[in-house]
Structure 1
């Protein structure tokens, strides 16, 4: 039952604080209200619960009572007026020691915490002036101590306000970093899926084109069926690769197969040849010496390059060379385009290759060299994780 009451009070307070634009935990106003209530009761009790002092105690708590009835937090200026009026009534009959000036300490801390500094300084100044009048007119004892306490409450509230803003700024910075990390991961996954789909569709289209020609020109059903079966195999392999890539978004891997690397480039070339695209491939050096991330990046760049050759090369042969040495690896893909404009065909392939090269700390160039279109990427071994 008690937990339910506390939960309801917390929810109501958080709603009220949100409406008032006060970014404080729910327990802060609760603690301040309890302290004010205790001080008001003590100050009234010190004066024998006379009618003026009892009215002053009620006035000090009127904003809290108003929230209990309406659920709306009163404006700061209204609380300041009621508390100052209450303390003024109580100080008309000072006692030793007097708890009523401590209400001004709490008021100074609250206003410094939730209002503009200028308003908080004005409240603290009014409190000090009230204490000075009480000390001069009715003989309030302990004036210097009360003034020091008010100033201490003011400084504590200002420090709390600064600390809260610093926490908000830190949370905002963490959120921005997290959002950037999520965006980078999505872009990485998007590049993986793009490379797989683009290459697989290009190879599948080559097989389908071969099957169509076998049926239309050669009337060779067996060759056409072979081409269709190969297209089906490439499509199924692409689906498995896509599922494995998308599985990177999950907490656990979607499968047990590893991602491709530089050692898989020869098999990639063979699949491209089987689809009908002539590719001359040369390789030098030990591919196993490349780090996994560098090998994956080189494989994806080679995959995207061959897909671009299939789309824009007009059937012209391609030449691919991969050199691995002590200083790093260099991949070069060269083909002669049937139309110069095809080199600048739109798409995200070159953007994806540039992003991969940037991740590897590599240098990528893609553009015409005489009659050829050349893609070249150099990966320093020290730059590849």
Structure 2
């Protein structure tokens, strides 16, 4: 019997090149330049571009009008996959991938930053829409948030009432939480039977010097005085939630009030404290963003017969080493014994840094074109040239 050689594919699994190409566009351009059989798997780590990447891998885009971070309506999308047959594996449950940045991100601000009043309300509306659609699992990607409201807007959109001393509902924004007296959950969305997973690599607690206000507030326009306001507001939110709804731990008061338990959990400070609300009110589990999304997209099956994996992102730098997509891809590929190289716009990591992360080599657009503006404008064509170089070197 005649034997035919199995042609192994190259698995192309990049994140986006922020400001120039989506993850799907990066994968397409790399595949075009390689000239060999490929499988394209755009990836993301839960931040900006997560919905785009998941949709490119077969999910359906659902777009609804929600409340943006300043209270103005914005169109926002989440990714949807209906339930599979009853005899299919458990990971075929009806799944929605919600990206906070889609509804409540910095890119949704119509003008300047709004550190005290920006809200996560639209993210809660996306979750509510997915629940109405029949979601059995919701993956909430955190990153790029415009607000520092502890996820208060998100839970308000899901039916929670955050009330002041007069029994009136609080308005939008983190600063409003200083007036919080009571939380009424009688109208809260029924999430029984819905698994909520937070995809995030941030391990900050809600409060304190490493918390949401202190670390991320300035990135959202908060002055030192604003940070103090937001810290006090988030502390009040955690205290009322803990005292009235039996969250883990007790509330301790000293010179700087701080809530223990859920508020101190790693990841509670993610996305301006949305991680806290997800843990406290949605009973979510926080998972490393890229690892969870690779599992969701079936990376393990696709890498088994690959001879090379190509990953990448716009900038390979110190942030890459802190759980970003290329490192997650490299670690997952290493389990299958498949070598990994990366493409990027620019790199500041040394060869030893890359090797320690499991990446054998990196190919940067700046190797071909030193002008950063031209790299951004001509990223697609340059990527095809880089891919041809990878093919000559590696295939």
Normalised by the size of structure 2, how large is the TM-score? 0.20
Structure possessing the higher radius of gyration over alpha carbons: 1
Structure having the larger proportion of residues in strand: 2
Structure with greater proportional helix content: 1
TM-score (norm 1): 0.20
